[in-house]
Amino acid sequence: MLTRENLCNAKRIVVKVGTSTLTHATGKLNLLRIEKLARELSDLANQGKQIILVTSGAVGAGMDRLGLKEKPKTIPEKQAAAAVGQGILLHIYEKMFGEYGQIVGQVLLTRADSVNRKRYTNSRNTLMALLNQGVIPIINENDAVSIDELKIGDNDTLSAMVASIIDADLLIILSDVEGVYTANPQTDPKAVLLSEITDITPGIEELAGGPGTMRGTGGMHTKIQAAKIAVNSGVAMVIATGGREGIVREVLEGNNIGTIFISKENRLQIRKRWLAFGVSVSGRVTVDTGCERALLEGGSSLLAAGVTDVNGDFEQGNTISIVNEGGRELARGITNYCAEDVKKIMGAHTHDITQLLGSKPYDEIIHRDNLVLLV
Ligand SMILES: Nc1ncnc2c1ncn2[C@@H]1O[C@H](COP(=O)(O)OP(=O)(O)O)[C@@H](O)[C@H]1O
Ligand SMILES: N[C@@H](CCC(=O)OP(=O)(O)O)C(=O)O
């Protein structure tokens, strides 16, 4: 397990850099910063580390080239900006990494590449092949073509999914803020930096606000969601400022900077990681405390008797979240019943399902084999 003291042992490292770090307040690319990042990551690759860069900035770079002062409002306009900007970004990375003799390869992903298990495995194989040849994959969401339903939507989540897919040791998210504060430091001067988070409780999730600038996308909220994916996949995560030169090296030296999220000791099996994080969540069921205990401590399947509420319009076969009465997400899994049927059978005993629905195709709403615990 990685802690600050042994971060230097991280071998496979995903670094995510946000638009707020890659651009100036003018909206133009911060070339000096990109150059320094390329130099630092190339040097780490020279040391034998396997580095993956997840970069935002396509929409920002495209907006600048197209002379747009505000973020495009319609999806096609945003996609057009991304199409223009992605080329610019890659051209610059290719040039700057090339200065240090480092080969890079562009990989553009969408949710479709993880929803389907074959494509999930294929993405992993491609990335591993690049790493095995000493290439730094440069990843972004394929914004120009991804449709709403199959969008990952933000690169914090994308970077955590990538880290999960390739069994990374560490994910470093570089932003325009030092780490997670007790409140948004841009609006609350009394906010205090949290150095270490061992448990992502609902309280921690509540601290996280939206983006700091109109250039950023998800703010701290998506970074905390990303941390949930990372730690449950056995990947430690650090949020740190991308504004400081040498920041990645400092993190790896174990300096007390930014916020570290300690990963769970047991990495989920790959199928369970795919189930929990590759697929979109289509709805939510709330369970009572007895059911919570049975799931967490008893290794049980989810039965109708423990369900107290249903949200969302999910179908049989969709992935749904199981939350406790305090709203904490306990698990995710593939449901055997659609939302309408769960509403009819919630609170009922298994032997009453036939009477309530006219048939009972399954005893459990989610079978244990198709369920992943997240706490
Ligand atoms: N609790 C918090 N701690 C730190 N930053 C926060 C918090 N809540 C909201 N934020 C905001 O999140 C911003 C970083 O996210 P974002 O603007 O999306 O940047 P990026 O482009 O790096 O993803 C910070 O600048 C800050 O304004
Ligand atoms: N894929 C988009 C970035 C999405 C995103 O999450 O942006 P950010 O919050 O700046 O990391 C782009 O390249 O513009």
Q: Are residues 133 and 241 in the same domain?
A: yes
Q: Are residues 153 and 197 in the same domain?
A: yes
How far CA 208 is from CA of 176, 184, 262, 284, in Å, comes to 15, 7, 18, 21
Higher pLDDT, 120 or 33: 33
| Cα of 156 from ligand 2 centre, angstroms | 8
Task: Please give the helix or strand (H or E) that residue 223 lies within, else none.
Answer: helix 219-232
Q: Are residues 109 and 212 in the same domain?
A: yes
CB of 62 within 6 A of ligand 2: the answer is: no
Pocket test residue of 16, 29, 56, 150 for ligand 2, highest count of atoms within 8 A of CB = 56
Q: Are residues 222 and 294 in the same domain?
A: no
Q: Are residues 121 and 243 in the same domain?
A: yes
Residue nearest atom 3 in ligand 2 by C-alpha distance = 56
Provide the pLDDT for residue 208.
Answer: 86
Provide the pLDDT for residue 215.
Answer: 72
CB of 113 within 6 A of ligand 2: the answer is: no
| Cα of 212 from ligand 1 centre, angstroms | 5
Summarize pLDDT for 358-370 with one digit per residue, the tens.
999 999 999 999 9
Q: Are residues 266 and 308 in the same domain?
A: no
> Is pTM, for the whole model, over 0.95?
no
Domain boundary among 218, 243, 271: 271
Q: Are residues 355 and 222 in the same domain?
A: no
Query: Mean pLDDT throughout 81-85?
Result: 96
CB of 224 within 6 A of ligand 1: the answer is: no
Provide the pLDDT for residue 265.
Answer: 78
CA 144/CA 147 separation, integer angstroms: 9
What DSSP assignment string belongs to 284-307? EEEE-HHHHHHHHTT-PPB-GGGE
Give the residues across from 329 on adjacent strands: 323
Total domain count, the chain: 2
Q: Are residues 17 and 157 in the same domain?
A: yes
Summarize pLDDT for 189-200 with one digit per residue, the tens.
999 999 999 999
CB of 303 within 6 A of ligand 2: the answer is: no
Domain boundary among 240, 271, 302: 271
Q: Count CB neighbours of 266 within 10 A.
A: 9
Given the DSSP bridges, would you call strands 236-241 and 259-261 parallel, antiparallel or unpaired? antiparallel
- 138 alpha carbon, closest ligand: 2
Provide the pLDDT for residue 274.
Answer: 86
Q: Which atom of ligand 2 is nearest to the CA of 61?
A: 14
Q: Which atom of ligand 2 is nearest to the CA of 89?
A: 13
Summarize pLDDT for 287-343 with one digit per residue, the tens.
999 999 999 999 999 999 999 999 999 999 999 999 999 999 999 999 999 999 999
Q: Which phi and psi angles does 23 have, rounded to 5°?
A: -125, 155
**What pLDDT band is residue 148 in, cutting at 50, 70 and 90?**
confident
Q: Are residues 29 and 152 in the same domain?
A: yes
Q: Are residues 116 and 162 in the same domain?
A: yes
What DSSP assignment string belongs to 152-220? ---HHHHHHHHHHHTT-SEEEEEESSSS-BSS-TTT-TT--B--EES---HHHHHH----SSTT-SSHH
Query: Mean pLDDT throughout 177-197?
Result: 94
CB of 219 within 6 A of ligand 1: the answer is: yes
| Cα of 209 from ligand 1 centre, angstroms | 7
Residue 216 has pLDDT above 90, yes or no: no
| 215: CATH | 3.40.1160.10
Domain boundary among 212, 246, 271: 271
Mean pLDDT across the chain:
93
Summarize pLDDT for 231-266 with one digit per residue, the tens.
999 999 999 999 999 999 999 999 999 999 999 877
Domain that holds residue 113: 4-271
Residue 270 has pLDDT above 80, yes or no: yes
| 317: CATH | 2.30.130.10
Pocket test residue of 152, 181, 184 for ligand 1, highest count of atoms within 8 A of CB = 184
Q: Are residues 316 and 221 in the same domain?
A: no
CB of 19 within 6 A of ligand 2: the answer is: yes
CA 25/CA 108 separation, integer angstroms: 26
Q: Are residues 247 and 293 in the same domain?
A: no
**What pLDDT band is residue 145 in, cutting at 50, 70 and 90?**
confident
What ipTM describes this predicted complex? 0.97
- 211 alpha carbon, closest ligand: 1
| Cα of 46 from ligand 1 centre, angstroms | 32
Q: For residue 312, what are the contacts with CB-CB under 8 A and spacing of at least 6?
A: 282, 283, 284, 320, 339
CB of 141 within 6 A of ligand 2: the answer is: yes
